[in-house]
Amino acid sequence: MSLIELKDISKEYPLGNTSVRALRGVSMVIEKGAFMSIVGPSGSGKTTLLNLMGCVDQPTAGTLLVDGQDVSKLNDKDLTRLRLYKIGFIFQSFNLIPVLSVLENVEFPLLLMHSGKPSEIRERAKTMLRHVQMESHMQHRPSELSGGQRQRVAIARALVTQPQLVLADEPTANLDSETGNAILSLMQRLNEEQGTTFIFSTHDPEVLKYARNIVKIRDGLLIT
């Protein structure tokens, strides 16, 4: 069954009096359990595409179905709930909450969901940190971690809610290649073990060898 369906999606950003067409009619279907990479040069529209799929932004034209639901019919509150319950995000610049410890960062989305007692939430967060081998740094603040460690915490945070879809925008761009490889292997392992759908963007050909499906994009159009 398809998790995401894009039908003739366009996205324009207003820019002064004109507008920038970041996507110009993109159509595709992403199945559950995919481990997919979006590649393309800088400015090709990778982030834009991920934003739309993550319900962080709305398309200018076309239809976007996430888990069978037309997102243009949802208001901000529902979209936020949809992101909280169904989607996990991994950002290029990690975006951990600096004032919270590693453990608290991973607990955060669960606390927002009010999913269970505090002790249960804590256990789930710890388990997740064990999966990414960060349980020894639970009490650290993000600023005390290396880039690779931060990204592993970010992965734990994205996965702790057991989302159907994880979106990662250039997750390895701020990491050296060795750490980047480790992060991608981790994502790959979690995809295989837990069946979570992963979509990640990159412009690093090195990274592509991990992907099962590859979508190429240039100037806002898919290249097949």
Ligand X SMILES: Nc1ncnc2c1ncn2[C@@H]1O[C@H](COP(=O)(O)OP(=O)(O)OP(=O)(O)O)[C@@H](O)[C@H]1O
* Smallest gap from residue 120 Cβ to other proteins (A): 15
* Torsion from C-alpha of 75, 108, 191, 90, nearest 10 degrees: 70
Q: Which of 206, 207, 161, 204 is nearest to 187 (CA)?
A: 207
* 113 is an interface residue for ligand X by CB under 6 A: no
* 76 is an interface residue for other proteins by CB under 8 A: yes
Residues in the chain: 224
Phi, psi of 204, deg, nearest 5 = -100, 110
When CB distances are held under 5 to 8 angstroms depending on the partner's kind, the choice from Mg ion, ligand X, other proteins, none that residue 89 binds is other proteins
Residue closest to Mg ion, measured at CB: 47
d(CA 95, CA 16): 29
When CB distances are held under 5 to 8 angstroms depending on the partner's kind, the choice from ligand X, other proteins, Mg ion, none that residue 208 binds is none
d(CA 55, CA 207): 25
* 101 is an interface residue for Mg ion by CB under 5 A: no
d(CA 123, CA 119): 6
The correct pick among 10, 63, 95, 164 for binding other proteins (CB under 8 A) is 95
| Residue entry with tokens 């179905």 | 65
* Smallest gap from residue 144 Cβ to ligand X (A): 28
* 100 is an interface residue for ligand X by CB under 6 A: no
* 14 is an interface residue for other proteins by CB under 8 A: no
Q: Which residues bind other proteins (CB under 8 A)?
A: 47, 50-51, 54, 56-57, 76-77, 80-81, 83-85, 89, 91-100, 108-109, 111-113, 157, 169, 174
